[in-house]
Amino acid sequence: METCDKYDDLMWLSFVRGRLESSVAAKMEVHHESCAECASRLEFFRKIAPIIELNAAEPPDSWTDEAAAQFKLLDPGKETSNIFGNLIFDSYVHSIEAVRSRGLETRHLVFELPSFELDLSLEYSGRQINMVLGHLLPKAAQSSEMNQDLILELLIADRRYSATPNRFGEFSFGVQAPLTGEPLELRCAFKEGPCAVVLIPC
C-alpha cells in the first residue's frame, strides 16, 4: 500500500490548530475527503491537539489559587503546583484503539499524583460525554483502601457533579454534557489532608 506524502504530520497538526493560511487549509480540506490515509491522520490530530495545547503551558494561576483557597493542604509549605495530577497515559495517544460499543466510545486515561494514581474511563457518544468512571489507586506504601473522607467533584463547563468513592477507591459520574474543547476539571478533596486537581483534556 502506498503512503500519501502530500502533507506531513506537522502540516495536519497545524491544520487542526488553525495555524495555516486559508488557501492551504482549503486544499487540505478537499484532499482529506478523497484520501483515506490523510483522513485518518486528521482524525488522530483532532484528538491529540487539545492534549498538546493543555500540556504546552502551566495551569493558569487562577486554577492554582482557587484550589489552594478551597481545600486545606497537608503541608502548606509545599508548592501548590503539586496538587495537579500528571497525565501519564492516554489511550488516544498510545496507539491503543478506542473501545466502541452501541455507539459509545471509551477513552482511558491515567494520572499520577503524590499519594495515588487516578485511573479514568470516559464514555462518549459523538461530541457528548455520558459517563466518567474512575479508580483511585494508593501508591505502594499506602493502604489498599481509600480514605472515606474523600469527596470528588467534576466540573464540566458550568455544571458540577459530586461523587464519593467506595472503600476500594471506585467511583462514577453519570453526566450528559456536550464537549466544548475545554478541559474537564476533577477535584479530589480530603477533609483532613491535601486536595488534588486533575485537568482532563477533551
More confident residue, 64 or 17: 17
What is the phi-psi region of residue 25: left when phi exceeds 0, alpha when psi lies from -120 to 50, beta otherwise? alpha
Please give the pLDDT value at position 30. 93
- The pLDDT of residue 79 is above 50: no
* pLDDT at residue 35, as a whole number: 92
Q: 122, 124, 150: which is closest to 137 by C-alpha?
A: 150
The pLDDT tens digits of the residues spanning 160-190 come to 888 888 888 889 998 888 877 788 888 887 6
Ramachandran region, residue 6 (left: φ > 0; alpha: ψ -120 to 50; beta: rest): alpha
Which stretch of 30-39, 138-147, 177-186 has the lowest confidence by average pLDDT? 138-147
pLDDT for 31 equals 92
